[in-house]
Amino acid sequence: MGENLNLFTSTQETIHEALSKMGYEESLYELMKEPLRMLTVRMPVRMDDGSTKVFTGYRAQHNDSVGPTKGGVRFHPDVDEEEVKALSMWMTLKCGIVDLPYGGGKGGIICDPRTMSMGELERLSRAYVRAISQIVGPTKDIPAPDVYTNSQIMAWMMDEYSRIDEFNSPGFITGKPIVLGGSQGREKATAQGVTICIEQAAKKRGIDIKGARVVVQGFGNAGSFLAKFMHDAGAKVVAISDAYGALYDPKGLDIDYLLDRRDSFGTVTTLFESTLSNKDLLEIDCDILVPAAVSNQITAENVDNIKASIIVEAANGPTTKEATKRLNERGVLLVPDVLASAGGVTVSYFEWVQNNQGYYWTEEEVNEKLEKKIVDAFNQVYEISQSRRVNMRLAAYMVGVRKTAEASRFRGWV
């Protein structure tokens, strides 16, 4: 029997465990094990060659007992219904962990944006908003950028929603360009949140960030900013990777040089002759390992070869349940994805607040508020992990489900 690599069922199992540990009744798990709403849409889009292609997209709204749902929209060939459901559940957990007045939502379209023109991407973005317009909005469900989507795509989506709504609705979506009501600090927010978690974890373990050996798997939005933050803090980023391979230098890589040469999809290793595999990258001897790429990277198969003493998950679900258990037994401090990558949704919340009040903050104010949110969340999760003698992932789920569980009870849903 192989281990469970299905993100949706393993998320359900951990939510069940967290609710049971806190003494909640089974009916609450029945409510939270699936999204309340799941919409599948089909969108005809005129392509540049004159043909019409029909795309499939999804929007999941996990639970809106606390407030409107919130979550990104990803454009990726591997998007499927189960992944979108699992990600919406994680968004509920993230919002609970950093104490935001939201439930989790998530969206995705099955497409490969790397093969599409700007015109095709714009028509697809607008078609998606038209298809989901009845269930989203600033007080219902607020989308945001995710894998292979960016501030330009958010701008098109906001414009389309404003046309349908017949008034300017900046609060409908977050991750917008600054000139359209975006927030300072939003683009770097996920990496900033991960960085704050790394600093807190290093403190707990008595590791000095200056000179610490750091490995970052993934060089997209989160991974590249993160490598830069670590490099600027005096850490030695000894390895990074993208979808095509990994670069390694025990003396530390020149991150600024690599950032100048990466393309918009985070690819840089194709410019080098000598590269390692992503599998080898994970097993490099280092102090801090940051998986910032895709799910199921640290598994029962390779967990015993992992040498890092701190692992901070910037990607969604990079470590399996069995691997989490074995790392915990070995005393590795693993900061789970639902805590480490909550910086993005936190600054998305700040953007929504600024849109609602029509008053905008400086980058310093945003960073200060973000730091407070993440440090408080980290300390709360760490404290529960120590006092209840559970790993950091289960502790984070316990903190994350509590707000939604209580809101559902007060509403009389269970």
The tokens of 9 are what? 């069922």
For tokens 């008034």, name the residue: 167
Q: Name which of 267, 261, 284 is nearest 214 in CA terms.
A: 284
Q: Please tell me whether residue 264 adopts helix, strand or coil conformation.
A: coil
Domain ranges of the chain: 34-168, 189-340
pLDDT in tens, 55-111: 999 999 999 999 999 999 999 999 999 999 999 999 999 999 999 999 999 999 999
Q: Please tell me whether residue 31 adopts helix, strand or coil conformation.
A: helix
Q: Considering only 35-39, 40-44, 304-308, which range has the smallest mean pLDDT?
A: 304-308
Give the Cβ contact number of residue 280 at 10 Å: 15
Mean pLDDT confidence for 320-330: 92
| Percent of the chain whose pLDDT exceeds 90 | 85
Q: Name which of 318, 385, 400 is nearest 32 in CA terms.
A: 400
pLDDT in tens, 264-295: 777 888 888 888 888 899 999 999 999 998 88
CATH number of the domain at 34-168, please? 3.40.50.10860
Among candidate residues 21, 33, 85, 106, the one labeled active-site is 106
pLDDT in tens, 117-142: 999 999 999 999 999 999 999 999 99
pLDDT band at 316 (very low <50, low <70, confident <90, very high): confident
Does the annotation place 168 within a ligand binding site? no
pTM, 2 dp: 0.93
Determine the residue type at 253: L
Does the annotation place 63 within a ligand binding site? no
Q: How far apart are CA 123 and CA 139, in angstroms?
A: 25
Any idea how long the chain is? 414
Mean pLDDT confidence for 232-241: 94
Q: How far apart are CA 292 and CA 217, in angstroms?
A: 5
Does the annotation place 221 within a ligand binding site? yes
Q: Name which of 185, 189, 183 is nearest 170 in CA terms.
A: 183
For tokens 């102090």, name the residue: 287
Residue 341, pLDDT score: 93
Q: In the predicted model, is pLDDT for residue 356 greater than 90? A: yes
Q: How far apart are CA 298 and CA 340, in angstroms?
A: 16
pLDDT in tens, 385-405: 999 999 999 999 999 999 999
Q: How far apart are CA 150 and CA 190, in angstroms?
A: 13
Does the annotation place 224 within a ligand binding site? no
pLDDT band at 2 (very low <50, low <70, confident <90, very high): low
Instruction: Look over the chain and give the mean of its residue pLDDT values, rounded to a whole number.
Output: 94
Rg (Cα) of the chain, in Å, rounded?
20
Determine the residue type at 237: V
CATH topology of domain 189-340: Rossmann fold (3.40.50)
Does the annotation place 174 within a ligand binding site? no
Exposure string of 363-373, with b = 16+ CB inside 10 Å and e = fewer, is eeebbebbbeb
Residue 6, pLDDT score: 84
Half-sphere exposure of 165 (CA within 13 A, CB side): 20
Q: Name which of 98, 147, 67 is nearest 347 in CA terms.
A: 98
Tell me, yes or no, if 369 is annotated catalytic: no
Q: How far apart are CA 68 and CA 138, in angstroms?
A: 8
Q: Please tell me whether residue 278 adopts helix, strand or coil conformation.
A: helix
